[in-house]
Structure 1
């Protein structure tokens, strides 16, 4: 089964740009509603379904590439997200605090991703490129969301400890 895919440069630029815009819009909306542990942890669980892509043999990549992509996301890209994600109590609820730095960071990460995508795609197939960038994104999302869950829990513990 040959799953060779050709994507025009227009679409390979437009789709990630729309994805970045969607992330920014979701982030703005999320600051308008209280955060919950469920809302923090559902995105990585939902994204984990993307591992089904590896059922298709054409998406397979060497384990070292997979670990490298995941580690790059976890060690390089998640840290700025963690540092720009603040939480605070507003009344009885915890809210994510908007950060202008976060919006610039998302745009910078998107630009880096676009450049890296074009470079990587010169050496491997489109489907393998998708695998690499999925693992990079998953590696970025998991530590970020775990750090948010930790901050959320810590805020609640501090509040309940202060009430005693």
Structure 2
């Protein structure tokens, strides 16, 4: 663990912050494109409860980042990031709808999802540019992870509730 910590320390101290900000923004844009593409493909197949539950479980492994000092976030910032994530999740919960077809339950395609996703991208980039002047890049990465997890977990729970309600009505 010490060797890994030394490597993380070296990388964060030798790479200028602006490159870390640009790199993480490019990665976020790629991930946003990937998520939207996956969502569009998912709308063409019946959805199952497992497909709703698994993404937050897979994402939770990212919490391991907090084992490293560079990513640790003070509790007040954890609360702030969690609150912002919860606020954003309400839009996703509200706009996520299911429909029943002859062969199963489908996720409805929504233009609002793309608008919300792009809005989050813009807000994230602005936030990163503004906050990177006062908050360390690693800490900022930890905050954005907390924000994303705090948004995805309630959204997926809301999706699961809506899915189960529709499933119950159809049986």
TM-score (normalised: structure 2): 0.87
Residue pair 1:16, 1:114 contacting (<8 A) in 2 also: no
Residues in 1 aligned to 2:128 and 2:43: alpha-carbon distance in whole angstroms: 30
Residue of structure 1 in register with 2:82 after alignment = 70
CA deviation vs aligned residue, 1:143-163 (integer Å, no higher than 9, x gap): 100000000000011112xxx
Residue pair 2:46, 2:103 contacting (<8 A) in 1 also: no
Residue of structure 1 in register with 2:151 after alignment = 140
Residue of structure 1 in register with 2:129 after alignment = 118
Deviation at 1:24, TM superposition (A): 1.0
Residues in 1 aligned to 2:24 and 2:61: alpha-carbon distance in whole angstroms: 23
TM-score (normalised: structure 1): 0.91
Unaligned runs of 5+ in 1: none
Task: Compute the RMSD of aligned alpha carbons.
Answer: 1.4
Residue of structure 2 in register with 1:97 after alignment = 108
CA deviation vs aligned residue, 1:113-149 (integer Å, no higher than 9, x gap): 1111111211121110110000000000001000000
Q: Residues 10 and 48 from structure 1, CA distance in 2 versus in 1: closer, same or farther, beyond 3 angstroms?
A: closer
Count of aligned residue pairs for this structure pair: 159
Residues in 1 aligned to 2:26 and 2:66: alpha-carbon distance in whole angstroms: 25
Unaligned runs of 5+ in 2: 1-5
Residue of structure 2 in register with 1:22 after alignment = 34
> Residue 44 of structure 2 aligns to a residue in which SS?
coil
CA deviation vs aligned residue, 1:18-64 (integer Å, no higher than 9, x gap): 22211111110111111111000000000000110011012111111
Residues in 2 aligned to 1:20 and 1:29: alpha-carbon distance in whole angstroms: 14
Deviation at 1:12, TM superposition (A): 4.3
